Amino acid sequence: TDRKKLHTAPVGQVFRLRPFHVLVATGGGYAGYRKYEDYKLEQLEKRGLEVPVKLASEWEVALYKSVPTRLLSRAWGRLNQVELPTWLRKPVYSLYIWTFGVNMKEAAVEDLHHYRNLSEFFRRKLKPQARPVCCVHSVISPSDGKILNFGQVKNCEVEQVKGVTYSLESFLGPRISTEEMHFSQAPPGNSFQKQLVTKEGNELYHCVIYLAPGDYHCFHSPTDWTVSHRRHFPGSLMSVNPGVARWIKELFCHNERVVLTGDWKHGFFSLTAVGATNVGSIRIYFDQDLHTNSPSYSKGSYNDFSFISNNNKEGIPMRKGEHLGEFNLGSTIVLIFEAPKDFKFNLKAGQKIRFGEALGSL
């Protein structure tokens, strides 16, 4: 009897742990396979060939979501905050610089020994003259990155990359009350897209900017506007690189994101910071109540916060180029805004852009 107990106890423990291990191993292996597929697509793009659209099935998305990316992102965040010995900083950061093509000549502090941990290095500041802000155009790039898509919003659908769309309402969430978005006077019977357009003759535009790991990780105000509301969507932390964005429909609606909405001189304006794998931390400098990548959340939930109060009737004014927030590692910025019909983007899909350069103007 004693021998039977001795043999069955460890086996029971193994069977309790095995499903989780199999799930992680399978999901991780499949994620690696997708990375290889992404690499092949990038090679096709470099050769100027048309990249076929092949969307993931429901089971593929479910399998990807089974990977504990939120837990891994929190672990990565803690690892990034571990102080490195002085002698180890230069080799670690130099490897990162070589891998992702970081230009340290633009950094406010070029000495690698200055950065105590990886988190400080990721969030390094730039020299003031490294990113001149365009004064001629009305909307500038809020960050460094790659232009994935841009243009007019049509039929309440927005393109995350060419040929792959997501729902405008799913992405932004239900329309904010007129008490908080005081400028919105559209009749409630109209489509969600038309409800956002507040002035006759205007259209709704969008622009998607992908931040790679080697990019400058802070983001800034893209124009002069007033932020009146913040909506935080807890969610998955799947990769948002162009290959995955081409593969998973409504990827940005699955992932954790922070939506800032308000108005500019032409009406509605919004900036959304989308989280990704290893980017559980999204920080908005003027919003101390925001906490992203919490250990638990309700699926499909979101929480709202209004910057309009009895003491502040207008919200948070932001000047073009002003510091707005930051990511840890890389992610995606999505702009959705209202403008007159003669608004023109000065962009090409796939081009690299830097903070301060023009996106478009009237």
Active site residues: 144, 220, 331
Contacts 24+ apart (CB under 8 A), 120-123: 121/93, 121/96, 122/80, 122/217, 122/328, 122/329, 123/217, 123/218, 123/326, 123/328
Tell me which amino acid residue 58 is: E
3-state SS assignment for residue 70: helix
* Residue 278 per-residue DSSP state: T
User: Which tokens belong to 331?
Assistant: 């992610």
Written as six digits, the tokens of 111 are 């000495």
Query: What are the DSSP E strand ranges found in the chain?
Result: 139-140, 145-152, 157-161, 164-167, 202-210, 218-220, 225-233, 257-264, 267-274, 282-284, 303-306, 316-318, 323-327, 332-340, 344-345, 352-353, 358-361
